[in-house]
A and B are shown apart, each in its own frame.
Chain A
Amino acid sequence: MPRISMLDTGETYQCRDGETVLAGMERLGRAGIPVGCRGGGCGVCKIRVISGEYDGRKMSRACITREEEEAGLVLACRVVPRFDLQVEIVGGMRKCIMKHAPHHDQ
């Protein structure tokens, strides 16, 4: 079973065969990679694969450009590790709801 190492936190966990990087993390109750739609559409689970091989499913181009994909950026909910992976968290919750008019911001 492939092991995922999150460089940011130093945490590691094992994915079941055929399970995505994000699904493995969620199943073990681990935190780290932000969890959103789990369908490759929203982009919050973006990670960079530093080393290791994986199979990827289609990801929304609005979240991962072709250049990013070539640079090893993927959506954790759409990649299934083949062997152990070292990953770095890139995505995040941006708090995009606006509660204040821009000119109220300090």
Chain B
Amino acid sequence: MALTGVLRPGHIVLRVLDLDEAVRHYTQVIGLFETGRDDEGRVFLKAWDENDHHSVVLREAEQAGMDYFGWKVDSEQTLDDLAVKLEASGLVSDTRWAPEGEQLLTGRRFQFTIPTGHRMEIYATKKTLGCMTGYDNPDPWPDGLRGMAPSRFDHALLYGRDIDANLTLFRDVLGFNLTEQVVGPDRKFLIGVFLTCSNKAHDIAFIRSDEDNRLHHASFILGGWHEVLHAADIISKRDVSLDIGPTRHGITRGETIYFFDPSGNRNEVFSGGYIWYPDRPVITWHDTEIGRAIFYHDRKLNEAFLNVTT
């Protein structure tokens, strides 16, 4: 198996101001499926093609934003090994082992805070429910889809200060690779880093900002440009708060639309991108071209992209 260690984004836990309103958004507008609730009232959701019990968790809170982001690793042994490496790295703080079952139907988890202040965790085990088409002679998509109907939770973009230390942590400790970077006038100062633990254009991205622990967006993958347009129709039809799109990202080549959940957390649905192999050179965007890097068609950044985070 060539893909080892950290396998993929496992779950994102989002804070919402009104749980019922949020559940309606994530199930009817985006089209995830509710798979459970825990004693604290948190709601667990998954997309139709996902095997594991959940990829999105919603928690009602006094403020919007992200509680934490979880990475699935390939085995309990890797989990132990990475926990030791993380502790030894000096790059993470507030480390903690969360016992099995503390998160619904999920095994033990190792939690830590990364240099930009975001809370993250790794885990190896989660109950599987299977995808909605099954795995024996499956149809390409299941009946009963609704909303935008992404096939899975894909990545997040986070804002914070010390993205250099994040890069070291993800690349040198967790085994991620840098796929694309945005650099400043000296061609060295990092404005943005796009990282993969697999062979996607990104599994996580960080943009430098003057405030730590901010969520820019949580993103879900669609089957193509036509589905992105369909998502845009749903956004208008249901009067969802639109940010920007449909458009194209220069970075990662994704076809995209951004919108907000009812608590102001930004969501993205997108398609496209490319397959990243380890021998592919890093793509570099210069700050003079940051407009087309982010929004390839408009070729300029909008204020909200830079400033609106939760």
Contact = CB atoms under 8 A, between A and B. Distances in A.
Interface of A: 34-42, 44, 58-63, 93-101, 104
B207 A42 contact: no
B4 interface: no
B307 A36 contact: yes
A96 B260 contact: no
Contacts of B263: 39-41, 60
Interface stretch (B50-58, B60-68, B70-78, B134-142): B60-68
18 contacts: A36-B307, A37-B243, A37-B260, A37-B308, A38-B264, A39-B64, A40-B17, A40-B263, A41-B17, A42-B309, A44-B304, A58-B18, A60-B310, A61-B63, A97-B191, A97-B208, A98-B209, A99-B290
Contacts of B62: 60-61
B298 to A, nearest CB: 16
Which 5 pairs of residues, A with B, have the shortest CB-CB distance? A41-B264, A37-B264, A41-B64, A39-B264, A36-B308
Contact of B184 (A39, A94, A100): A100
B252 interface: no
A51 B180 CA distance: 50
Given A61-B62, A61-B63, A37 B208 contact: no
Interface of B: 17-18, 62-65, 159, 161, 184-186, 189, 191, 207-211, 241, 243, 260-266, 287, 290, 303-304, 306-310
Given A58-B17, A93-B306, A36 B189 contact: no
A36 B306 CA distance: 10
Given A41-B310, A44-B307, A96-B309, 6 more contacts: A35-B304, A36-B304, A36-B308, A42-B309, A97-B207, A97-B208
B310 A97 contact: no
A100 B307 contact: no
A52 B280 CA distance: 60
Contacts of A100: 184-185, 189
A96 B159 contact: yes
B306 A38 contact: no
Contact of B17 (A60, A93, A95): A60
B185 to A, nearest CB: 7
Nearest to B64: A41
Contacts of A40: 17, 64, 263-264
Contact of B262 (A39, A61, A94): A39
A63 B62 CA distance: 10
B22 to A, nearest CB: 10
A60 B287 contact: no
A38 B17 CA distance: 13
